[in-house]
Amino acid sequence: MRTIKKLQVGNIPALKTSLLKWAQQYTEVVWLDSNNYHQKHSIYDAVLAVDAFTAIETSAKGAFDRLQEYQQVTRDWLFGYLSYDLKNDTEDLHSENFDGLKFPDLYFFQPKKMFLLKDDQLELQYLRMVDDEMDEDLEAIFNPSEEDRKKPFLTPVEIQSRIPKEKYLEKVTEMLGHIQRGDIYEANFCQEFFSENAVIDPLRVYEHLNAISRPPFAGFLKLSGKYLLSASPERYLQKKGSTLISQPIKGTAPRGVDPDDDQKRINDLQNDPKERSENVMIVDLVRNDLSKTAKKGSVKVEELCRVYSFEQVHQMISTVTSQLAEGIPVVEVLKTTFPMGSMTGAPKISAMQIIEELEETRRGLYSGAVGYFTPEDDFDFNVVIRSILYNEKEKYVSFSVGGAITSKSLPENEYLECLVKARALKQVLEQEQ
């Protein structure tokens, strides 16, 4: 049971900053922020969960079954992540590539303390065992100490590419060979950028990344010294009542140098046959995935290939919905749709097999999902892209970027698209913190 308290609040940007700083005292932190990017399917403006009462941490084998049991037993708010390598639980797949980050494949926790922000209302939900701390916490949040952020500046991080450009071009060419032979129609091919012996201030890096990106599915995750600093623009899957909503992204263009150039790039992206075909192929994959748990005839494409603009890029986004059939556990919905189609390809299993052969890094949490379950069996998860991952103990920092390879792909153009997506991530790591 939780004690609930609601407050009217002002100066929302300052409150968000204060909440996130206050949360750093805890070992487990999940912060999700929409950056006021209000969509039809938005529920909260921001959510903070801290301090695990219970938790589940597991490798891929049997992970979804264990998560389903945990979710059904707790029937409470749960926050955490699904790593891309849970594919090894749903299909006969494996991951042998290098892993410098060493994150668990799945991690969820039941928070003792939660904060839900919507418009000018802040809702606190505390487990009864800690509800006597509520007033003290509010005092610390609304009247933060000046000493909270006096930290020394850190040396900029030097980023390296895991795959040299020429090797990247060779690998894309090899993937095009698979497409020409009919093994796949499309696959998402990614490359890692990394730094070893890296010491960063995760909160500062996240704050800077979020400030220059302002995405609708931003997130800061801290779990026992493992961090995710995410500027994700993409929703993986949301459940509201019996309605499921997926919003895959496929199609990217950089922002223009002035309003006229910007509008031209929007129009070019909207009408680009390659980008539209990428998006439509993934929409078909998502429709197929959702049909596995949907009421007959309920899968619908609510929006197809609409271009949305963000601080760094324009993105082509589609929205697919369905109605969940009765009697299906909520974790089963995730299991039958994961990993998301926008980060795999079509056909899905063949694409994942080829991805594993050609990529050189285990994806881990990258192209996985971060989000939460509610006590009412609803959930909302993003896609972990445009994100920095950091293992504090290993001093290893990493980010990956990629794009969809189709028969119309030009290896050089795909490489340039990766650099566009990497720009903001590289920028925040290579400057003084």
Q: Looking at the annotation, which residues are catalytic?
A: 234, 250
C-alpha gyration radius of the chain: 21
Q: For residue 24, give the nearest of 201, 152, 143 by alpha carbon.
A: 201
Phi and psi torsions of 20, nearest 5° = -70, -35
**DSSP H helical ranges for 239-322:** 259-270, 273-291
Q: For residue 378, give the nearest of 245, 243, 240, 244 by alpha carbon.
A: 240
- Report how far residue 227's alpha carbon sits from residue 364's, in angstroms, rounded to the nearest whole number: 13
- 254 upstream amide cis, omega within 30 of 0: no
Phi and psi torsions of 63, nearest 5° = -65, -45
Quickly list DSSP for 175-221: HHHHHHTTS-SEEEEEEEEEESS----HHHHHHHHHHHH--TEEEEE
- Report how far residue 278's alpha carbon sits from residue 187's, in angstroms, rounded to the nearest whole number: 9
With a CB cutoff of 8 Å and minimum separation 6, the contacts of 407 are: 176, 179, 180, 185
Tokens of 34: 């929409």
Tokens of 28: 């487990």
Tokens of 334: 């995730």
Which secondary structure element, helix H or strand E, spans residue 369, and what is its range? strand 369-373
35 backbone φψ class: left, alpha, beta (φ>0; ψ -120 to 50): left
| DSSP conformational letter for 123 | E
- Report how far residue 340's alpha carbon sits from residue 244's, in angstroms, rounded to the nearest whole number: 14
Q: Measured at the alpha carbon of residue 55, what is the angle toward residues 83 and 82, in degrees to the nearest 5? A: 10
214, with CB counted inside 10 A (0-12, 13-18, 19+), is: middle
- Report how far residue 343's alpha carbon sits from residue 367's, in angstroms, rounded to the nearest whole number: 6
